[in-house]
């Protein structure tokens, strides 16, 4: 009987995996795998890029921007994990295995025998095995027309070279991993203060920071690190710029390693905000690496709330704040909220914790004015100073607005090509955007009021406004207009991403309100 070609064997393996039930509850991962494999079979492996996967496999629109949306990197990490699990269980006896090395989207089809011979070279850390996987991911099947031929005429010099090289790499990786792990874990720190009394109703803490309290421009006080056990404090260099912070240079340090917090709180329902910023790994950072470099789990009161959490991938890049919001958090029987951070690859990290009281089933409304200080409206509601933005320019104007009692909301403006990453808990939200044309058509501007400013607005990639003209919608300059959108939901990263994209001149917004409805 004529032996199957390597291409036939590879396609058969893809079909076997896709029809194994592995993706029954994760169809998007199945589309991801099928897409990259078909491009590989068509000889177009070099054209498998983040953009093409997002648009052609995951259904993102043609204006997809990988700098703002990390869906491909997140899904790739999940796909790698699912394939690894599959080949340890139901697919353990397969002659060929599909690998997607870290940092790549091109699939590699590897003979099980070669991989099994290489894997014992490095027996301990996951990072060491990753080196073996990448070595084994060379297109070995393509060296002969059939798998049987490969087995009959093994390339022993190549195999020995790979083993020796893998061994050297393994020693390096193990030493590097051990050095990093030991530096992150020594000495293991334990807070020695009193945890008898509950913290204030609104509690904000900078983890890993041991200086005097910090007051941000919202008027909130952030205290030094406390209530911790395990891990190590690491300062963030003062010159490090972290995008998206609620206050410039708010984050001072991080707690890193395997650690937990036991925070005494008052009885009742709380919302918990966890702040992460990857300042060690990623492009341009001291230790390099990329997505999947640092992965860990987070539990609250013994319940896993963030599984295989990758702060770099979740934020969409290094040196960006990523905030996760958890609602309906209540203290345990001992009156404390217990947080556990468990490394899977490199040490876990955390930059800040915020705990505030909330109504059961809902988080607090998010209200933002594009100004440097908070504003209180006529109903007594406080609107926070500008935060969660990337890009654009903030300006303050004193023009008088017609017919509006809360004119203070419209004196600030963010304009340009910009976005807001607003962190929320799972649920449905009403978004209200406040606009006023305080430049075009006003006495301070030589430009006409209409047709001068046109822009689009997207929420998590879906267009909410197309060719929007503030002046025309409001009936002229110095007049206000509100746009309301219902049933918005956060993306997989727990964020409502608002993108203001100019069509003519600059986009602008004066105030943003996000209120949970269901």
Q: Is the previous residue joined to 232 through a cis bond, with omega within 30 degrees of 0?
A: no
Q: Which residue has the higher pLDDT, 135 or 18?
A: 18
How does the average pLDDT of the chain come out, rounded? 84
| Distance separating alpha carbons of residues 353 and 251, to the nearest angstrom | 11
Count of CB atoms within 10 A of residue 334's CB? 9
Domain that holds residue 46: 6-182
Q: Provide the pLDDT confidence category of residue 394 given band limits of 50, 70 and 90.
A: very high
The answer on 266 and 341 residing in a single domain is yes
Last residue of a domain, one of 339, 357, 375: 357
Degrees (nearest 5) of the Cα angle 103, 104, 107? 145
In a domain? residue 407: yes
| pLDDT (0 to 100) of residue 182 | 38
Top mean-pLDDT range of 280-289, 413-422, 449-458: 413-422
Q: How does pLDDT run across 274-316, given as a tens digit for each residue?
A: 999 999 999 888 888 888 889 999 999 999 999 999 999 999 9
Rounded CA gap, 300 and 139, in Å?
43
pLDDT, residue 7, reads 83
Residue 27 is predicted with a pLDDT of 86
pLDDT band, very low/low/confident/very high, at 236 (cuts 50, 70, 90):
very high
Residue 387, C-beta contacts closer than 8 angstroms, at least 6 positions apart: 218, 245, 246, 247, 368
**Of 42-56, 159-173, 497-511, which gets the smallest average pLDDT?**
159-173
Determine the average pLDDT of the residues in 363-376: 96
Sheet holding 429-436, edge to edge: 366-369, 511-516, 429-436, 480-488
Question: Which whole number is the average pLDDT over 419-432?
Answer: 97
Helix 27-41 and helix 6-18, axial crossing angle in degrees, nearest 10: 170
Q: Is the pLDDT of residue 186 over 90?
A: no
Band the pLDDT of 511: cuts 50, 70, 90: very high
Least confident of 119-133, 181-195, 215-229, 389-403: 119-133
CA 282 to CA 312: how far, in whole Å?
Answer: 7
In whole angstroms, give the CA distance from residue 429 to residue 513: 10
- One domain for residues 383 and 352: no
Q: Do 336 and 395 reside in the same domain of the chain?
A: no
Using pLDDT thresholds of 50, 70 and 90, give the confidence band for residue 191.
Answer: very high
Q: Which residue among 330, 357, 384 closes a domain?
A: 357
Q: Which residue has the higher pLDDT, 73 or 137?
A: 73
pLDDT at 476: 85
Distances (CA, A) of 411 to 162, 378, 418, 490: 65, 15, 19, 29
Residue 197 covered by a domain = no
Report cis status (omega within 30 of 0) of the bond before 400. no
Of 105, 77, 95, 80, the residue nearest 22 (C-alpha): 80
Q: 């925070």: which residue's tokens?
A: 263
Residue 176 sits in the same domain as residue 276: no
pLDDT at 45: 87
Where residue 459 sits, what CATH number does that domain have?
A: 2.60.120.430
Helix (H, G, I), strand (E, B) or coil at 259: strand
pLDDT computed for residue 166 by the predictor: 45
* pLDDT greater than 80 at residue 119: no
Q: What is the β-pairing status of strands 203-206 and 348-350?
A: unpaired
Contacts of 436 (CB under 8 A, 6+ apart): 401, 404, 410, 470, 474, 478, 479, 480, 481, 510
Query: Is a pLDDT exceeding 70 seen at residue 114?
Result: no
pLDDT band at 104 (very low <50, low <70, confident <90, very high): confident
Q: Within a domain: residue 479?
A: yes
User: Please, which residues bridge with residue 327 across strands?
Assistant: none
Q: Are both 56 and 171 inside the same structural domain?
A: yes
> Are both 171 and 46 inside the same structural domain?
yes
- How does pLDDT run across 121-179, given as a tens digit for each residue? 433 334 444 444 444 444 444 433 333 334 344 454 444 444 444 444 443 343 334 33
- The three-state secondary structure class of 448 is coil
Query: 163 and 289 share a domain?
Result: no
SS3 (DSSP) at 109: strand
Q: Is the pLDDT of residue 65 over 90?
A: no
226 or 166, which is more confident: 226
**3-class DSSP state of 135:** helix
Could you say which DSSP state residue 159 is in? H
Both 347 and 290 in one domain: the answer is yes
Residues 353 and 186 sit within 8 Å (Cβ to Cβ): no
Instruction: Give the pLDDT score at 170.
Output: 44
Whole-number Å distance between alpha carbons of 298 and 114: 36
**C-alpha distance from residue 219 to each of 36, 213, 374, 382, 511 (Å):** 50, 12, 9, 11, 19
3-class DSSP state for residue 351?
Answer: coil
Kindly state the average pLDDT of the residues 507-514. Answer: 97
Residue 188 lies in a domain: no
Cα–Cα distance for residue pair 329/305, rounded to 1 Å: 11
Model confidence, pTM = 0.67
CA 284 – CA 225 distance, rounded (Å):
28
**Residue 196 in domain:** no
307 and 223: one domain? Answer: yes
479-504 average pLDDT score = 95
28 φ, ψ (degrees, to nearest 5): -65, -35
Q: Is the pLDDT of residue 15 over 70?
A: yes
- Both 15 and 145 in one domain: the answer is yes
What is the C-alpha to C-alpha distance for residues 36 and 116, in angstroms, rounded to an integer?
A: 25
SS3 354: strand
**Confidence band, pLDDT 50/70/90 cuts, at residue 3:** low
Provide the 10 A C-beta neighbour count for residue 237.
7
Q: Are residues 451 and 372 in the same domain?
A: yes
Counting other chains too, the contacts that 306-310 makes at CB distance below 8 Å and 24 or more residues apart are 306/274, 308/77, 308/78, 308/81, 308/344, 310/74, 310/77
Number of domains in the chain: 3
Nearest to 122 by CA among 106, 105, 135: 135
| Domain closes at, from 299, 328, 357 | 357
Is 166 a member of any domain? yes
In this prediction, what percent of the chain has a pLDDT beyond 90? 57
36 and 105, same structural domain?
yes
Q: Is residue 1 part of a domain?
A: no
- The neighbour count for residue 410, using CB atoms within 10 Å, is 25
pLDDT, greater one: 112 or 313: 313
- Region 36-60: mean pLDDT is 90
Residue 187 resides in a domain: no
- Choose the weakest-confidence range: 137-151, 188-202, 257-271, 272-286: 137-151
The pLDDT of residue 403 is 64
């Amino acid at each position: 009987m004529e032996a199957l070609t390597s291409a036939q064997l590879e396609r058969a393996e893809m079909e076997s995996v896709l029809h194994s039930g592995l993706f029954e509850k994760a169809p998007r991962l199945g589309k991801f795998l099928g897409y990259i494999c078909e491009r590989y079979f068509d000889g177009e492996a070099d054209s498998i890029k983040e953009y093409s996967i997002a648009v052609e496999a995951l259904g993102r629109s043609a204006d997809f921007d990988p700098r703002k949306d990390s869906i491909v990197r997140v899904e790739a990490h999940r796909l790698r994990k699912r394939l690894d699990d599959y080949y340890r269980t139901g697919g353990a006896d397969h002659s060929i295995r599909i690998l997607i090395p870290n940092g790549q989207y091109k699939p590699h089809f590897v003979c099980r025998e070669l991989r099994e011979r290489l894997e014992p070279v490095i027996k301990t850390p996951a990072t060491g095995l990753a080196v073996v996987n990448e070595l084994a991911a060379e297109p070995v099947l393509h060296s002969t027309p059939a798998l049987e031929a490969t087995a009959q005429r093994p390339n022993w010099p190549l195999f020995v070279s790979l083993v020796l090289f893998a061994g050297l790499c393994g020693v390096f990786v193990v030493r590097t991993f051990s050095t990093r792990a030991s530096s992150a874990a020594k000495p293991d720190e334990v807070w020695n203060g009193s945890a008898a009394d509950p913290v204030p109703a609104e509690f904000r803490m900078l983890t890993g920071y041991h200086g005097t309290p910090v007051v941000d421009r919202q008027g909130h006080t952030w205290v030094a690190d406390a209530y911790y056990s395990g891990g190590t404090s690491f300062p963030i260099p003062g010159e490090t710029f972290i995008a998206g912070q609620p206050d410039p240079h708010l984050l001072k340090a991080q707690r890193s390693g395997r650690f937990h917090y036991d925070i005494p709180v008052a009885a009742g329902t709380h919302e918990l905000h966890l702040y992460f910023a990857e300042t060690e790994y990623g492009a341009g950072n001291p230790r390099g690496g990329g997505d999947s470099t640092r992965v860990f789990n987070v539990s609250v009161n013994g319940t896993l709330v963030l599984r295989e959490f990758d702060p770099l991938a979740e934020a969409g890049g290094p040196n960006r704040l990523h905030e996760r919001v958890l609602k309906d958090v209540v203290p345990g029987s001992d009156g404390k909220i217990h947080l556990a951070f468990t490394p899977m690859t490199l040490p876990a990290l955390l930059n800040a914790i915020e705990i505030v009281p909330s109504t059961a089933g809902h988080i607090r409304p998010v209200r933002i004015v594009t100004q440097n200080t908070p504003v209180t409206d006529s109903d007594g509601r406080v609107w926070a100073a500008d935060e969660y933005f990337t890009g654009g320019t903030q300006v303050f104007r004193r023009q008088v607005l017609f017919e509006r009692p809360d004119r203070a909301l419209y004196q600030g403006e963010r304009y340009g090509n910009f976005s807001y990453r607003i962190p929320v808990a799972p649920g449905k939200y009403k978004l209200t955007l406040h606009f006023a044309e305080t430049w075009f058509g006003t006495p301070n501007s030589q430009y006409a009021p209409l047709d001068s400013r046109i822009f689009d607005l997207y929420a998590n990639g879906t267009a909410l406004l197309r060719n929007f003209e503030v002046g025309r919608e409001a009936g002229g300059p110095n007049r206000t207009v509100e746009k309301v959108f219902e049933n918005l939901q956060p993306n997989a990263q727990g964020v409502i991403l608002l993108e203001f994209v100019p069509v003519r001149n600059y986009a602008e917004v004066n105030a943003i309100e996000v209120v949970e409805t269901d």
